[in-house]
Amino acid sequence: MKSLIAAAVGCGVVVLAGCSPPKGENNGRVEITDTTPAERGSSQVQLTAQTEFSDQVAQQLAADLSNVPELNKGYRSTVVFGDIVNKTGVVPTTEFEAFRMRIRSKLMQSQMVLKNIRFVENRARLDSLRQRELGGSGDVLQEGSAGSGTTPLNPQYTYFLNGEMYRASRGTRDEVNMYLMSYNLTNAQTGELVWTNSPYEVKQVR
């Protein structure tokens, strides 16, 4: 009888706990660094791995850029976020864009980097912004050319940060994936590659 009462009480506690309402609006929110069952069960690259790799890339890139002689001449050089190409074949474009944004944002938090560099948007994006905000000759409804009015970048002190992301896979179902990220810095006037990295790497095994 005692055990039955204990079981009933236990059952009651479980019922109350199980049926308690969701805790506020954040029910279902998990830490960005937590790997969820959906990620573990999916054949795609884990979101957590992407986050960790972007952190690693940003950290290494910040350290490397602060040691490039061309960017350490006592003035702030201009670096254009150029072309970063996704050649992995498996990372969706939208996720790659988020990956790129994350690295850019992390770089912009680095005082070590910002001491010598000011980052600018690429020309296509800036033209699009100016078109939207300034339109033509001051009247936003005229929708004319917005090209005039920008301060041209001095090509001598301007560099383009371009990069590519690759993947190498092994296994019958691509159980092992190696992701590599290469970057280079090109002088806008001479086209000279003033710096390239030895690719940043991460290996993911399923």
Partner 1 sequence: MRRLGVACSLVCAVVVVGCSGAAKSTRLTMGDLDDTTAVMAQKLADSRLLADRTPESPRMLIAINKVENLTSDLIPESEEWLLMERVKGSLPILNLGKERNMAFVIPANHLRAGRKRGNLPQGFAMERRPTHEMTATFHSGTRSSRKDRTDAYLVEYRITDLETGTLEWNETFEFKRAAAGLAYD
CA 120 – CA 113 distance, rounded (Å): 14
Select from 20, 74, 172, 173 the one that contacts partner 1 (CB under 8 A): 20
Contact between 89 and partner 1 (CB under 8 A)? no
Contact between 198 and partner 1 (CB under 8 A)? no
Contact between 9 and partner 1 (CB under 8 A)? no
Contact between 205 and partner 1 (CB under 8 A)? no
Q: Is 182 left (phi over 0), alpha (psi -120 to 50) or beta?
A: beta
Select from 63, 140, 168, 176 the one that contacts partner 1 (CB under 8 A): 140
Structure tokens at 29: 């929110």
Contact between 206 and partner 1 (CB under 8 A)? no
CA 186 – CA 162 distance, rounded (Å): 8
Contact between 202 and partner 1 (CB under 8 A)? no
Q: Which residues contact 24 (CB under 8 A, 6 or more apart)?
A: none
Cβ 79 to partner 1 shortest distance, Å: 10
Contact 186, 173 (CB under 8 A): no
Q: What is the DSSP letter of 101?
A: H
Cβ 30 to partner 1 shortest distance, Å: 5
Select from 73, 123, 203, 206 the one that contacts partner 1 (CB under 8 A): 123
Query: 188 — phi, psi (to 5°)?
Result: -70, -25
Contact between 175 and partner 1 (CB under 8 A)? no
Structure tokens at 87: 């050649």
Q: Cα 19 vs. chain centroid, distance in angstroms?
A: 39
CA 36 – CA 32 distance, rounded (Å): 10
* Contact window for partner 1 (CB under 8 A) among 37-45, 64-72, 165-173, 197-205: 37-45
Query: What does the binding site for partner 1 look like in residue numbers (CB under 8 A)?
Result: 3-4, 7-8, 10-11, 14-15, 17-32, 34, 36-42, 44, 46-47, 50-51, 80, 92, 94-95, 97-98, 101-102, 104-105, 108, 118-123, 125-126, 129-130, 132-135, 138-141, 149-151, 153
